[in-house]
Amino acid sequence: MNINQFKQLLGYLYREQYKGDTAIQANLLELGWAIDRLLKKGQLTPFDNYDEHKKIIFKEMEWSDKWG
């Protein structure tokens, strides 16, 4: 699955699968925001493979969580 497909999956999970579960929705949002930051920095492209880049995505999530 590429990054663009993964972002679409996050949107589906947020709107449909976890509708009303604010704790999980917050994590899904943060995951999407981390991906957006990496895309803007040029560290990811929409066509990169998610499985090959998930470590840097989760590292970006951890960094942002520490700062608010």
Q: How many CB atoms lie within 10 A of CB 41?
A: 9
* 21-28-26-61 Cα dihedral, nearest 10 degrees: 150
pTM of the predicted protein model: 0.86
Give the C-alpha separation, 3 to 66, whole Å: 24
What is the structure's pLDDT at 64?
57
> pLDDT under 70 in the chain at which residues?
63-68
Q: How many CB atoms lie within 10 A of CB 38?
A: 19
What is the structure's pLDDT at 62?
77
* Helices and strands counted in the chain (H then E): 3, 0
What is the structure's pLDDT at 45?
97
Q: Are 41 and 53 in contact (CB under 8 A)?
A: no
